[in-house]
Amino acid sequence: MLEEYDFDLSHVTSLIKEKHAKVVGLQFPDGFRREALRISGEISQNTGVRCVISANSCFGACDVDTGLLKSADIMFQFGHAEIPNITVADTHFIEARSLTPVLPVIKQAISEIPDHIGLISTAQFVHTLTDVQKYLADHGITGVIHHGDKRIAYPGLVLGCNFSAAAPNCDEYLYIGTGDFHALGVALATKKPVRIVDPVIEEVRMPDVDRMLRKRCAAIERSLDAQAIGVIVSTKIGQCRKELAFDLCAMAEAHGMNAHILMMDLVTPDALRAFNLDAFVNTACPRIATDGSAGFPAPMLTPVEFEVVIGERRWNDMVFDEI
């Protein structure tokens, strides 16, 4: 996998030397974890430091291993762009830019692309957006690259929980990247079509929005008689929405429900199984409710879906949960 990406290990070496670090913490998301030992070995060899690899979750730049950071002089999280409005001292984000060319699949899709379209991507391909924009312009198409909010490091970058870089003045989006996860989020958040152009498997496709909406509708219906709810709050630094959780509890109580706040790091079915609750409302990573709720002992709702359940919001006014 490593040869497909550009990790800037020379930058890592410079930062370690600058800091005179002796113990270095390393975090890898699942996709890069198999390279952890090799990268750790290379860093130790280049700098003489002791590396400590986090074996905890690393879902995004929201998920900094603050426990490991207490034992390290400096920490590097690989594979994610920083979230600018979260600052953690001595933590650096080492992006993994894909070296896979994107224009072959854009050429394949060109006849289907409308004259005006928003361009979006993830940290692995966001550096290609200006080249895509130029290529589209040569074919008479305006590709719009929009600046997101304070959670977004680059124009056109989308996270699974933040789609503010999807230009509001576009009726359709072109997502350059792999998987359906981000494109599905944009389609649900904007209620507009998103075309995925996947440079790795050279495929053009659309995410399955209807399937997700059916699942969310079912979760809401199963929660309509709920009397006791658990409101989940994350301890992860970039996922913690404590104030929202308190507000949701107060709202539930005003509707005659019993509400309990559950604070946790990793939100898993096993961790919640012992609580005898009718529904959960998730204020941690929004995608836990929408994409990862299978196997939980009770329906898992987003905060907005919970408002629909208690009649504080109409189904038609539902919006996708974003941080």
Binding mask 29-68 for ligand SF4 (x = CB under 6 A): ------------------------------xx-x------
Q: Closer CB to ligand SF4, residue 128 or residue 162?
A: 162
Q: Closer CB to ligand SF4, residue 226 or residue 233?
A: 233
Q: Closer CB to ligand SF4, residue 28 or residue 59?
A: 59
The size of the interface with ligand SF4 (CB under 6 A), counted in residues, is: 11
Q: How far is the CB of 232 from ligand SF4 (least distance, A)?
A: 13
Q: How far is the CB of 309 from ligand SF4 (least distance, A)?
A: 22
Which sign does the torsion angle of CA 242, 312, 192, 31 carry?
positive
Q: What is the DSSP letter of 18?
A: H
Is 100 strand, coil or helix? coil
Q: Closer CB to ligand SF4, residue 96 or residue 113?
A: 96
Q: How far is the CB of 270 from ligand SF4 (least distance, A)?
A: 19
How far is residue 118 from each of residues 111, 153, 155, 176, 241, measured CA to CA in Å?
Answer: 16, 17, 11, 11, 30
The interface with ligand SF4 within residues 155-174 (CB under 6 A) comprises 159-161
Q: Which candidate, 235, 224, 241, places its Cα nearest to that of 283? A: 241
Within 13 Å and on the Cβ side, how many CA atoms surround 155?
Answer: 12
The interface with ligand SF4 within residues 223-262 (CB under 6 A) comprises 238-239
Q: Closer CB to ligand SF4, residue 109 or residue 244?
A: 244
Q: Closer CB to ligand SF4, residue 71 or residue 85?
A: 85
Q: How far is the CB of 38 from ligand SF4 (least distance, A)?
A: 25
Distance CA 320, CA 306 (A): 12
The interface with ligand SF4 within residues 63-102 (CB under 6 A) comprises none
Distance CA 196, CA 309 (A): 32
Distance CA 3, CA 35 (A): 11
Distance CA 286, CA 185 (A): 10
Do 310 and 251 contact (CB within 8 A), yes or no? yes
The interface with ligand SF4 within residues 134-153 (CB under 6 A) comprises none
Q: Closer CB to ligand SF4, residue 51 or residue 262?
A: 262
Binding mask 262-281 for ligand SF4 (x = CB under 6 A): --------------------
Task: Please report, to the nearest 10 degrees, the dihedral formed by the alpha carbons of residues 86, 88, 91, 94 taken in order.
Answer: 0
- Contacts with ligand SF4 by CB under 6 A lie at 59-60, 62, 159-161, 238-239, 285, 287, 323
